[in-house]
Structure 1
Amino acid sequence: MTIRYPRPLSPGDAIGVTAPSSGVAAPLHARLHHAVDVVRAKGYDVRLGETPTGRGIVSAPADVRAAELTAMLTDPAVRAVVPPWGGELATDLLGRLDWDALGADPTWLVGYSDVSTVQLPLTLRTGVATLHGQNLMDTPYDVPDGLLGWWEVAAAAQQGEALVQRSPRRFRASGWDDWEQHPDASTWTLDTAGAWRRLDGGDPAAPVDVSGRLIGGCLETVSLLAGTPYGDVARFAAEHAPEGLVVYLDVLEWGAFEVARALWAMRHAGWFDAANAVLVSRTHAPDADGLTQDDAVRDALGDLGIPLLADVECGHVPPYLALVNGALARVQHGREESVITQRLVP
């Protein structure tokens, strides 16, 4: 089997907005509609579903969310689905989705956080690429030099075009903008220096240069899929990735002990058997007494003999790389720069 990619976005295509996890509360509706306007200004027809303005822990009952997501992903006119953001309980959709139907005519599913709870199984079960990148509410922000917006990646050609992204080696440590007071906020202030770091015990100055198929998501959600029909990374590697994998993980809020246990569970389920490298996000998650976040990664993965890179822009700390699950990626890291090059090849 090979990876299948949605066709590239073109001006006039429809973009669906649905909330498979949490909706947007009324005080932030102005931000939601501003983000929709930004996407329209890029030349796309935006179709806003009923769920994005739903209230509560989830935007609507699971059957309603599953139906709206399915309708958008299977509508031939909708070429990308971009939820407003993540949430907590998208996992309740997994048994309600017809995966064969979702994979029949590939459509871009874009986002991160709890959206990866659906993205990962879609790629693993169907071989359809999904796009871990800025969610809708982040779309109005200017993309820092060296990175790509989700709309740029989704519009790329599929026959080997190199999608190159370079770490800005700066990040935002000052928290989130107040979207209620400033719904049109559009500039990330990258106020702190920070480069990728090696955790694997290799010479910190020695260059890393590895390749493989990208696969990953938010650790707090996708780790709970390990060992289930929705998180069979070992099978995906055997069927789709003879080149091996580059596994990326977004650590949001779990403490170091929880991270270590999750990584061990994933390792027991074969997640890293075919890994050529593991990328771990920059995080504000807490250390534990006697175990740091770095220690947690080393404890579970340190003896794999592969590069382990930390502080990668694949998490909840801005800015964000746009990473395609299933894409063939080359990861290069050295003293002067850190680069990911993706090719959307079968």
Structure 2
Amino acid sequence: MDRRTFVKASTLGMLLSQSSLVSAKSSQPSSAQSVFPKRLKQGDTVALVAPAGALNQKVELEIAVESFQAIGLKVKVGKHVLDRDGYFAGTDQDRAADINDAFSDPEVKGIIAVRGGWGCNRILPFLDFDMIAQNPKVLLGYSDITTLLNGLYQHSGLVSFHGPVGISYWGQDQAEQMRKMIFEGGKFIIKNQPDKDEKALTQRKNRIQVINSGKATGRLVGGNLTVLTSLVGTPYLPDMQGKILFLEDVSESIYRIDRYLSTLQLAGKLQQLAGVAFGQCSDCNPEKGYGGFTLLQILEHYFKPLGIPAYMGGQFGHVRDNNILPIGVNVELDADQGSLRLLESPVS
């Protein structure tokens, strides 16, 4: 067998192996019907897992544990959270095992990612989607955790939460939002906080910019644009038909944002949407010199022709005051107000 034939055979074998893993551990995608996790309550145990990047220092884990204890939760740390395999928090199989264990553990009522980074795509073939669907629990995280949130919604229908990870800043605002949404299951409006500069005559920070005016309703999906786009062509990208898509990113050139949106457009996903909320693109600066575009201009290129309600500037993403957004929940998007109104409780 020559090298080219060997490579083709090996690649086919890997694809068949991964396909068998998916079919063995998951049923047909079921995101058309959302599965709501039980709400958390004071004294519940949450598991901290590291499904992607390795922690830089053990003290980061200690801070995360203390933050959730301050909210009134007990904390159980995943077996492999402090492991390291290159830039990952352990092997793909071990990181997935911590997630499967947390969902199957009757003591654990919620699961929180310690950090993002990169690596969640690699563990998808090792997740037991059928078991997870039978044990719906709160799952919280963002950035690279976008893969888990949307992949689990697509394959198990699980409603999950795009919001701060364990090592994120946790203050009174974050704790209050977690209490309202995940403890109380409230139906309320998610919007930007008012400018804290009381001397300013008008809102200067956290401003909304309208791309297309109007309102739209649909189930909420999305997260980090880079990560979400990496799921195109896989069985883990959610069905976009009639959905409200929210997006954010960090440290990306404007031309890369253009590239990712072009990929979603060419895949026929943007044309299926009911509305779009774009949050923060932190450290995403226009190209220097002649011919550059602003972020707003790029978003207008893709969303204005669709005619669907769309806005940018939402208070979510790689920012300190990161609003929690529930994936899989029916919401009403109001582009003029820059808001998302929950039409149902995200927890049971």
Partner of 2:171: 141
| Map 1:231-270 → 2, pairs under 5 A | 231-234=237-240, 237=241, 244-270=242-268
Partner of 2:341: 341
% same residue: 22
| Map 1:96-175 → 2, pairs under 5 A | 96-138=126-168, 140-143=170-173, 149-157=177-185, 161-170=186-195
In the superposition, relative to structure 1, how do residues 18 and 126 fare at CA in structure 2: closer, same or farther (>3 Å)?
same
For the 8 Å contact 2:221–2:246, the answer to whether it is kept is: yes
TM-score (norm 2): 0.80
For the 8 Å contact 1:226–1:232, the answer to whether it is kept is: no
For the 8 Å contact 1:86–1:112, the answer to whether it is kept is: yes
In the superposition, relative to structure 1, how do residues 216 and 331 fare at CA in structure 2: closer, same or farther (>3 Å)?
same
SS in 2 for 1:225: coil
How far 1:298 sits from its partner (Å)? 2.1
Cα RMSD of the aligned pairs, angstroms, is 2.4
Selected match of 2:303 from 301, 304, 313: 301
In the superposition, relative to structure 1, how do residues 138 and 53 fare at CA in structure 2: closer, same or farther (>3 Å)?
same
For the 8 Å contact 1:53–1:59, the answer to whether it is kept is: yes
For the 8 Å contact 2:54–2:83, the answer to whether it is kept is: yes
| Map 1:248-327 → 2, pairs under 5 A | 248-283=246-281, 284-288=283-287, 289-327=291-329
**1: distance between equivalents of 2:278 and 2:82?**
32
In the superposition, relative to structure 1, how do residues 143 and 76 fare at CA in structure 2: closer, same or farther (>3 Å)?
same
Partner of 2:14: none
**2: distance between equivalents of 1:257 and 1:24?**
30
For the 8 Å contact 1:131–1:150, the answer to whether it is kept is: no
For the 8 Å contact 1:263–1:300, the answer to whether it is kept is: yes
**2: distance between equivalents of 1:193 and 1:215?**
26
> How far does the alpha carbon of each residue in 1:165-222 deviate from its partner, in whole angstroms, 9 at most, with x for none?
3311449xxxxxxxxxxxxxxxxxxx9623111124x5xxxxx332221100111111
How far 1:95 sits from its partner (Å)? 1.5
For the 8 Å contact 2:115–2:167, the answer to whether it is kept is: yes
For the 8 Å contact 2:310–2:335, the answer to whether it is kept is: no
SS in 2 for 1:40: helix
Letter in 1 for 2:230: L
Selected match of 1:196 from 208, 222, 228: 208
| Map 1:3-22 → 2, pairs under 5 A | 3-22=34-53
How far 1:75 sits from its partner (Å)? 1.6
Point out where structure 1 has 5 or more consecutive residues left out of the alignment. Answer: 172-190, 203-207, 238-243
Letter in 2 for 1:30: V
Letter in 2 for 1:4: V
Partner of 1:215: 221
TM-score (norm 1): 0.81
In the superposition, relative to structure 1, how do residues 162 and 232 fare at CA in structure 2: closer, same or farther (>3 Å)?
closer
How far 1:130 sits from its partner (Å)? 0.8
Aligned length: 305
